[in-house]
Amino acid sequence: MMVFVSTSDMSGARQAGWAVMLGGLIGLLLSILTADVQRQFTFDTWQQVSPREVSQQNVSVVVIDNASLNAVGSWPWSRYYMARLLENIALQGPTAIGMDIIFAEADARDPTTFTSLYPELDPDSARAVNQLPSMDQVLAQVIGSSPIVLARLGVPSEGTDPARLLIDPKIAGSPPANTISAPQVLTNIDVLDGNALAHGMLNGRPDLDGLVRRVPLNVIVGEQPLPGLAVELARIASGAPQLEWRGENLLVGDIALPVDENGGLPIKLGEFPDAQIYSAAAVLTGQVPQDAFAGRVVLVGLGADGTADIVSTPLKTETIGVLVQAQAVDAILEGGWLERPSWAFAIELAAGVALFVLFMLVAVTLRNWLLVPTIILALSLPVTSWMLFDQANLLLDPIRPLLIGSGAAAAMWVARYAFSRRERARLAAELVEQRVAAAEQEGELKAARRIQLGMVPGPEQLNNLDKRVDIGAILEPAKSIGGDFFDALMIGPDRLLFVVGDVTGKGVPAALFMALSKALSKSNLSRMGGDFAGSVAALNRDLMYEADDEMGVTMLIGLLDCSNGKISLINAGHENPFRMRADGSVETLAMVGGPPFCVVDFPYAVEEFSLEPAETLVVITDGATEAENGSEELFGVGGVIAAMGIDGDVSAVKRATNLAKSVREFEGDTDPSDDLTIFALRYLA
């Protein structure tokens, strides 16, 4: 079965297609401009929906909390208590102890510092106090005998020259170019720093929205890459001899960690188990299980009010930094990091293009069933993104393709809505036309037809206007009388004014308003002087004053300079004219134009073109393009161009006559759907 689609539907489909194109491009632009924000929103949502289950076997955390300060005293503590704390942890046999604290200054309670505060002490008492062991030395002995990793921090100034650092196992390979860097480093005091098993950097910066989503694997201090605290603890726990950069991965033994452009590792966050968080006060007093730290990485950090490093993550507005480090260590050991593969962008773009193409097919083919696979594809994108996040720890952004598809969809529906409104208006006008036609009186209409045809200039009058032009015109009302008209006259020695108009509707009302429109146009335009646009605007106002609410008229008004072929045109809602070149090619003169007359007071613009010798300007009404045959096919603009193209170089009269004949032959036995007017102006030079 053959399905015929009307030219009106095809026009709407073309408009919807262009709208989909524009909407898709806007969606793509938005997806590029908001890429980071949309990805963060999506992946933060997945973090909240599907948090990682943190293992209870890898990491424990000891927090110097409010209870610890109440038991021992305000922070900073004497190094004696820190030594006892670390000693009690080390007695259980952890694989590594990471300090999320930097001891950058000597113990304030050192014996020599104490005696300097009390000059009243007699020499013997002062000497006895000074001979007491330094608590920094005591802490250093514990550090030296335990698997302790001390923290360091890259700083812009007032730190230590990196050339003086004791370097742990060097990191092989080259880190990413945008890795965090600092010229100097803040270290623990020398007596502690030199006794540590290893060292790890605490540097880490949140994203622009203030949330921490990743930990740095490297910090470049001077020219030396130093490991982050979490990855160094994981290295020791896994028994890897060193860290090695290989391409975009950092190898920790058999573990290959993918990193972002800044050398950071995005981690899949979860709720750190409360059972693995211990108060320092409980550790000092032996109130923790005997196997609380055995075989685990233990992180020691601050959590008391006023001392803690407070950070925000996608899961918690406030949490202490040592818990983020602990989660990072567990993520490295358990494979709980997040990865955005190199092919992610291509997949996202391909999905967006697929949605765009589907909406384009819906728009141009008018097959609404294609919306079903389109919606299925759109719904599958966030589901697939979540499944990849939950099951494979992969980051695939569904928002980018959805933005492209949403832009295309919104534009398509807007275009369809606008087209449907125009169609309803057109159908309403046709209904009015049919009612008027049914009420026509045949005898009166025949007389009116003779009068109407006598109002337009005949062939002899047209050809006597100027020897530099050749003019031919055809006017054939669809009924006995109609609303089309044309006119042409010289308004100076070189200026030829011509008008082609089409009144809304057909029959008696259209004919009456046609007569009024022709009279007003000739009266206004023949006295225009040099203000072409102003005269047209005045004509529009006069017609608005005379017309009722149901009347309107389209016009194409032209002013030809016969001395050089330059032509000025104003289009008030009319069909665009055609230019027939001397070589037989036909082109449509694309005009911006404005609304039909009698609609709104509008500043119509003058649009300039030119005719070369032997070129012909052809102006038609919609009676040509909307001519319909028995199969309900329209003659259309393509039919007009094709009909003109077969004539070759002929006179204006012949061109108008042949085009009218082609239209009528196309219609066959079908009654004409509208008045037919063809005005051909051939420039002879």
> Is residue 1 assigned to a domain?
no
- 11 pLDDT more than 70: no
Residue 507 sits in the same domain as residue 648: yes
Residue of 313, 403, 380 whose CA lies nearest to 47: 313
More reliable by pLDDT, 467 or 431: 467
Is 156 a member of any domain?
Answer: yes
- Residue 223's domain comprises 59-334
177/261 same-domain check: yes
| 361 compared with 569, residue with greater pLDDT | 569
Instruction: Give the pLDDT of residue 500.
Output: 94
Look at residue 94 and tell me whether its pLDDT is greater than 90.
Answer: yes
270-304 burial code (b ≥16 CB/10 A, e <16): bebbeebbbbbbbbbeeebeeebbeebbbbbbbbb
pLDDT of residue 455: 76
Domain boundary among 394, 424, 454: 424
- Any idea which of 107-111, 264-268, 330-334, 550-554 has the lowest mean pLDDT? 107-111
CA distance 673 to 437: 12
- Is residue 649 over pLDDT 50? yes
Residue 14 and residue 112 share a domain: no
Is residue 436, in this structure, part of any structural domain at all? no
- Residue 219 falls inside a structural domain: yes
Range name among 1-15, 162-176, 476-490 with the lowest pLDDT average = 1-15
pLDDT of 93 higher than 70: yes
- Rounded distance between C-alpha atoms, residue 636 and residue 662, angstroms: 12
pLDDT digits (tens, 9 = 90+) for 590-643: 999 999 998 899 999 999 999 999 999 999 998 889 899 988 899 999 999 998
Does 567 have pLDDT greater than 90? yes
Give yes or no for a contact between 202 and 153, defined as CB atoms under 8 angstroms apart: yes
10 Å Cβ neighbour count for 345? 14
Q: Is the pLDDT of residue 309 over 60?
A: yes
Do 82 and 162 fall within a single domain?
yes
Tally the domains of the chain: 3
Q: Say whether both 460 and 605 belong to one domain.
A: yes
Q: Please provide residue 74's backbone torsions phi and psi, each rounded to the nearest 5 degrees.
A: -70, 160
Same-domain check for residues 412 and 544: no
Q: Domain for residue 197, yes or no? A: yes
CATH number of the domain to which 623 belongs: 3.60.40.10
559 pLDDT higher than 80: yes
DSSP conformation letters of 63-122: EE-HHHHHHH-SSSPPHHHHHHHHHHHHTT--SEEEE-----S--TT-HHHHHHH-TTS-
Choosing from 289, 305, 334, the residue where a domain stops is 334
Which pLDDT score is estimated for 224?
87
Residue 537 domain flag = yes
Beta bridge partners, 588, equal 578
What CA–CA distance (Å, rounded) separates 397 from 588?
Answer: 46
Domain boundary among the residues 390, 424, 458 is at 424
Name the pLDDT band for 454 (thresholds 50, 70, 90).
low
- CB-based contact 518:469 (threshold 8 Å): no
What pLDDT score was predicted for residue 619? 95
Contact 666, 635 (CB under 8 A): yes
Please report the pLDDT score of residue 243 as a whole number: 92
Average pLDDT over residues 478-500: 86
Q: Answer yes or no: do 505 and 645 share one domain.
A: yes
Question: Is there a contact between 203 and 216 (Cβ–Cβ < 8 Å)?
Answer: yes
Residue 54 falls inside a structural domain? no
pLDDT at 478 over 60: yes
**Region 299-319: what's the mean pLDDT?**
89
432 occurs within a structural domain:
no
| Count of CB atoms situated within 10 Å of the CB of 238 | 14
166 CB neighbour count, 10 Å cutoff:
12
Quick one: 150 and 90 in the same domain? yes
Pair (505, 466) in one structural domain: yes
- 402 and 525 in a single domain? The answer is no
Q: How confident is the model at residue 236 (pLDDT cuts 50, 70, 90)?
A: very high
- At a CB cut-off of 8 Å and minimum separation 6, what does 120 contact? none
The confidence band for 287, taking pLDDT boundaries of 50, 70 and 90, is very high
- Predicted TM-score of the model (pTM): 0.59
What was the pLDDT predicted at 2? 40
Query: 265 near 212, Cβ under 8 Å?
Result: no
Kindly state whether residues 154 and 116 are assigned to the same domain: yes
Asked if residue 355 and residue 308 are part of one domain, the reply reads no
Q: What is the pLDDT of residues 403-447, one digit of tens each?
A: 888 888 888 888 777 877 777 777 777 777 777 665 555 555 555
